[in-house]
């Protein structure tokens, strides 16, 4: 399968999947005609800091950018619309190193971007999943890591931790982030990206408070990954 055909298939799958998701609070700007995006009329957005991070279902590009101002941070809908140009940007810069990050359902565009590059030499790309809803990591052809949040004292983990701990899905051992202020699994799940998530976050509060006053969680940007990016 040619790169052009593969990318077209990836984009069609992602746009169909995202269209089935309910609109999130404040997300109308990013749910226009699938051929459009908030970057329409400008060049493909630069992958700032050589990192692109896709938020989970219900997140907006504005919220994710507030969490991660030093990186290119996108909602899953916006990211799905930009997969082709992002893949081209990575293709055209083999001398640069890039990290692709996906949180929760944002793992879908993250993995799809990696798969769109699968017939290339991917030594300059890493994939990081943060409690992502993932197909087997090995299918991406990219090295990387998986993360989940936990509160050991309460003996609870983020609600998608089991996928990260499944050797059929993720490279093992998976990495645990200690979010000891969290009182439930939803808080833990969101803590993978927001260190200010309320401890007792409920599903009804998720869209309004999950990424409010966001302080991005960069635990996944380990010293080893920083050194890899720098060399």
**What is the pLDDT at residue 57?**
92
Find out whether 189 and 162 touch, Cβ atoms under 8 Å: no
Residue 24 C-beta-side C-alpha neighbours within 13 Å: 25
Q: Could you tell me the two tokens for 218?
A: 């960069």
Find out whether 97 and 229 touch, Cβ atoms under 8 Å: yes
What is the DSSP secondary structure assignment for residue 126, as one 8-state letter? E
**What is the pLDDT at residue 137?**
78
- pTM of the predicted model as reported, rounded to 2 decimal places: 0.82
**What is the pLDDT at residue 135?**
72
DSSP 3-state assignment of 127?
A: strand
What domains are there in the chain, each with its CATH number?
A: 3-19+44-230 (3.40.50)
pLDDT digits (tens, 9 = 90+) for 104-152: 999 999 999 998 886 666 789 999 999 998 777 778 888 899 999 999 9
DSSP 3-state assignment of 45?
A: coil
| Biggest CA pair distance of the chain | 51
Average pLDDT, the chain: 83
Q: Rounded to the nearest 5 degrees, what angle is found at the Cα of 96, between the Cα atoms of 92 and 98?
A: 95
Q: Could you tell me the two tokens for 217?
A: 């969680």
Q: Mean pLDDT, to the nearest integer, of 188-211?
A: 96
More confident: 103 or 141: 103
> Any idea which residue has 């599903």 for tokens?
203
pLDDT digits (tens, 9 = 90+) for 197-208: 999 999 999 989
pLDDT digits (tens, 9 = 90+) for 166-184: 999 999 999 999 999 999 9
Does residue 156 register a pLDDT over 50? Answer: yes
pLDDT digits (tens, 9 = 90+) for 61-101: 999 999 999 999 999 999 999 999 999 999 899 889 999 99
CA distance 168 to 32: 36
Binning pLDDT at 50, 70 and 90, where does residue 42 land? low
Does residue 190 register a pLDDT over 90? Answer: yes
Q: How many residues does the chain have?
A: 231
Binning pLDDT at 50, 70 and 90, where does residue 48 land? very high
Find out whether 125 and 97 touch, Cβ atoms under 8 Å: yes
DSSP 3-state assignment of 115?
A: helix
Find out whether 181 and 199 touch, Cβ atoms under 8 Å: yes
**What is the pLDDT at residue 117?**
83
**What is the pLDDT at residue 83?**
95
CA 164 from centroid of its chain's CA atoms: 14
């Amino acid at each position: 399968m040619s790169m052009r055909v593969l990318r077209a298939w990836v984009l069609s799958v992602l746009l169909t999947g995202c269209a089935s998701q309910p609109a999130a609070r404040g997300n109308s700007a990013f749910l226009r005609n699938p051929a459009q995006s908030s970057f329409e009329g400008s060049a493909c957005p630069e992958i700032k800091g050589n990192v692109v991070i896709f938020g989970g279902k219900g997140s907006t590009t504005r919220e994710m950018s507030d969490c991660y101002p030093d990186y290119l941070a996108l909602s899953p809908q916006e990211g799905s619309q930009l997969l082709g140009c992002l893949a081209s940007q990575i293709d055209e810069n083999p001398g640069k190193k890039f990290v692709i990050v996906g949180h929760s359902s944002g793992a879908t565009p993250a993995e799809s971007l990696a798969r769109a590059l699968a017939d290339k030499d991917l030594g300059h790309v890493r994939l990081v999943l943060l409690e992502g809803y993932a197909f087997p990591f090995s299918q991406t052809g990219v090295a990387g890591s998986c993360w989940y949040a936990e509160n050991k004292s309460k003996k609870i983990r983020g609600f998608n931790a089991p996928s990260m701990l499944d050797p059929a899905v993720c490279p093992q051992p998976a990495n645990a982030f200690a979010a000891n202020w969290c009182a439930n699994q939803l808080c833990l799940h969101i803590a993978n990206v927001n260190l200010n998530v309320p401890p007792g976050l409920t599903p009804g509060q998720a869209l309004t408070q999950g990424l409010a006053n966001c302080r991005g969680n960069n635990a996944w940007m380990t010293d080893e990954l920083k050194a890899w990016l720098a060399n």
